[in-house]
Amino acid sequence: MEVEPEVGAEHLIEEQMFGVLDVVLLLSLLGLGGWWLLKNRRQPEEPSATKSYSIQPTNLGTQSTDNSFIKKLKSSGRSLVVFYGSQTGTGEEFAGRLAKEGIRYHLKGMVADPEECDMEELTNLKDIPNSLAVFCLATYGEGDPTDNAMEFYEWLQNSDTDFTGLNYAVFGLGNKTYEHYNEVAKYVDKRLAELGATRVFELGLGDDDANIEDDFITWKDRFWPAVCEFYGIEATGEDVSVRQYRLTENPDVGSDRIYTGEVARLHSLRNQRAPFDAKNPFLATIKVNRELHKSGERSCMHIEFDIEGSKMRYDTGDHLAVYPVNSEELVNKLGELLNVDLDTVIILTNTDEESSKKHPFPCPCSYRTALTHYLDITCNPRTHILKELIEYTKDPEEQEKLRSMASTTPEGKELYNQWIIQDNRNIVHILEDLKSCKPALDHLCELLPRLQARYYSISSSPKVYPTTVHITALLVQYETPTGRTNKGVATSWLATKMPSEGGLPVTAPIYIRRSQFRLPTRAQTPIIMIGPGTGLAPFRGFIQERNQLKEEGKVIGDTILYFGCRRKAEDFIYEEELNEYVKKDVLTMHVAFSRDQAHKVYVTHLLQKNMDEIWRVIGENNGHLYVCGDARNMARDVHDLVLKVVQEKGSMTESAAQDYVKKMEAQKRYSADVWS
């Protein structure tokens, strides 16, 4: 019995040896046969000179794996690189305009995203003759760099790199209503000089609260002569319009390969995959959309988005980003004005092969999709767009109007400010009023800025609502001096998103944007919240969270709210909720109704009356103070009043009071979530 396995094993080995030799011979014969067949099949195709190309959809921002901008500059014979730090697209747009104009000054340019570049290579830029680095940098939040410039900014702060030989210039994009006006641009300009770089032209500062377009072109028109003088070069004198993207209409692609509104990945809204962010938003179901105003002509919406199963997490004080779509009426009007079939599928391909941005938006897609989801057709067009419209305009008077507005003359600037900015015209209005202007729609698609996500302060606490995110949004709608009614893109769209029992789910693409607007880590720390109107939004979440902590048996500090609205019976939002928190001793509330009496009363008047209470919280008890709402007036008035409280109640000099408030800000004890 014991020998049988051995005999069996021996026979098995013989069979395996035979099998292997057989397989080797068979494979050899098959390989020779396959080679002969392929050789003969290829031969008839050799004389053909035509090639077949398969057009693949390219994701937004498809990037080269090579992050060496120096290599790209050298290989394409360029010497100008324009970096941008942009949160809403304006910085990127300005960078593109500078790079495009460089050709007039013998400086072939390239736009670059610092997030996608090895910025340590800046030290090698001096190896390229007549090289120049320009930085168009926006300041965002409380003096912070934009997301895509954060890594570069932090590296610059901690670097002691020798930038001798680097020639540079900086243009900043900011807003004077914010305390940290253009802080990022100011720092980068100063820091590069400290590290040995050569400033070719003075720092430019753009103010979005006034006319940032005017600030930019004024700086730009002085920048180029300074560049010419620095390098000893002359302008060509020709102002040539160069198209950046090449149009392909009705490409040979299947319908399942065409974008229909996705931000980046094709079918990403249909086949959802976490993690969700700016390039991959979550398609959330809207569970609640209810009116908060009790009467009056205005409307304020309370909207709840379902995030269950998304793996998205938020903290009280964060922002919700919502990707809106343009009005169908406006989109159709544009198609009618230009006599274009909006369902035509297009691809716009960058003519600059070195550019990391292959398309201005996800392609291929239809004109309708581009105008609905990807392009901002409601903004006031900037001067470079008006300049491009001239060649499409037949009437001499209309041509001259556009030429004047696109110029840098005082008269032209005044006309632009009046006819475009003050009269609040968008591209549709311009084409309606300049009837002989009929631009190519693909060129407009190239010129118009991208439609951006809209941000809302989250008005809920994840400790109370872990599977839903709430926002509080005022419907934007107003009449312009031309008699037209302009509507806010996002709020008008959200107003149509009304869920109904048994009906199809209504959805919106969203993602969470982190904020520094946070409750104190210790629940016992007292807080003052100042938020008139929809400025109440984040504080609703704060109050919910403190109420939850109290219900869990924890001790909470004073939670004081200053709220203001027009009339108690009209726009006192969340009134019942807030009164309930007051009854439960969670909240102390001061409310100003500006129009319920003969003289107007605002939140700042209540603060003025309660200076002792404010000092008790922020001075005697090391508490936190929060402001949310209008940056232009309210937040500035509150800041001045806080300084007054510290100076008077804290018995300090003006200088000492300013230092105290700055220290509060640095310690995150004085936080603002404001907009202009």
Is position 175 annotated in a ligand binding site?
yes
Binding residue per annotation — 96?
A: no
E-only strand ranges, 585-652: 588-593, 624-630
Is position 454 annotated in a ligand binding site? yes
* Closest by CA position to 387, among listed 408, 410, 411, 371: 408
Check the annotation: does 185 bind a ligand: no
Asked whether the beta carbons of 415 and 402 are under 8 A apart, the reply is no
Known catalytic residue at 300: no
Measured CA to CA, the distance from residue 650 to residue 289 in angstroms comes to: 46
Phi then psi dihedrals of residue 39, to 5 deg: -60, -45
637 annotated as a binding-site residue: yes
594 is in an annotated binding site: yes
Annotated ligand binding at 484? The verdict is no
464 is annotated as contributing to ligand binding? no
Strand, coil or helix: what is 242?
coil
Is 317 labelled as part of a ligand binding site?
no
Residue 576: its H or E element: helix 575-583
**Is position 15 annotated in a ligand binding site?**
no
**Catalytic residue list contains 673:** yes
Our CA angle for 335, 340, 346, nearest 5°, is: 105
Q: Residue 602 annotated as binding?
A: yes
Residue carrying the six token digits 């000099």 = 653
Any binding-site annotation on 208? yes
| 256 labelled ligand-binding | no
What is the number of residues in the chain? 676
| β pairing state of 198-199 and 144-145 | unpaired
SS3 assignment, position 305: strand
What 3-state DSSP class applies to 382?
coil
Copy the structure tokens of residue 230.
Answer: 């620095």
Catalytic residue among 117, 571, 628, 630: 628
Alpha helices (H) in 283-425, listed in sequence order = 328-338, 367-369, 383-389, 396-405, 410-416
Task: Say whether 178 counts as a known binding-site residue.
Answer: yes
User: Is 323 part of any known ligand binding site?
Assistant: no
DSSP code of 437? B
Q: Is 27 known to sit in a ligand binding site?
A: no
Annotated ligand binding at 90? The verdict is yes
Q: Which two tokens stand for residue 613?
A: 């209470």
Question: Would the annotation count 472 as a binding residue?
Answer: no
Asked whether residue 141 is marked as a ligand-binding residue, the answer is yes
- Asked, as a colleague might, if the bond just before 364 is cis with ω within 30 of 0, I would say yes
Q: Are 123 and 166 in contact (CB under 8 A)?
A: yes
180 is in an annotated binding site: yes
Was 455 annotated as part of a binding site?
Answer: yes
Closest CA to 145 of 167, 172, 117: 172
Is 457 a catalytic site residue? yes
Amino acid 490 reads A
| Interaxial angle between packed helices 654-666 and 634-649, expressed in degrees from 0 to 180 and rounded to the nearest 10 | 120
The reply to whether 174 sits in an annotated binding site is yes
Amino acid 205 reads L
* Choice among 113, 214, 306, 673 that is catalytic: 673
From the candidates 79, 268, 457, 671, give the one annotated as an active-site residue.
Answer: 457
- What is the CB neighbour count within 10 angstroms for residue 569? 12
| Displacement of CA 24 from its chain's centroid (Å) | 62
Catalytic position from the list 118, 144, 379, 675: 675
88 is in an annotated binding site: yes
Q: At which residue do the structure tokens 């410039």 appear? A: 149
- In angstroms, the CA 576 to CA 595 distance is 20
Told to judge if 675 belongs to the known catalytic residues of this protein, a careful annotator would answer yes
- Annotation-wise, does 140 bind a ligand? yes
Binding site, annotated residues for FAD: 454-457, 478, 488-491, 675
Binding site, annotated residues for NADP(+): 298, 534, 594-595, 600-604, 637
Binding site, annotated residues for FMN: 86-91, 138-141, 173-182, 208
Binding site, annotated residues: 86-91, 138-141, 173-182, 208, 298, 454-457, 478, 488-491, 534, 594-595, 600-604, 637, 675
Catalytic residues: 457, 628, 673, 675
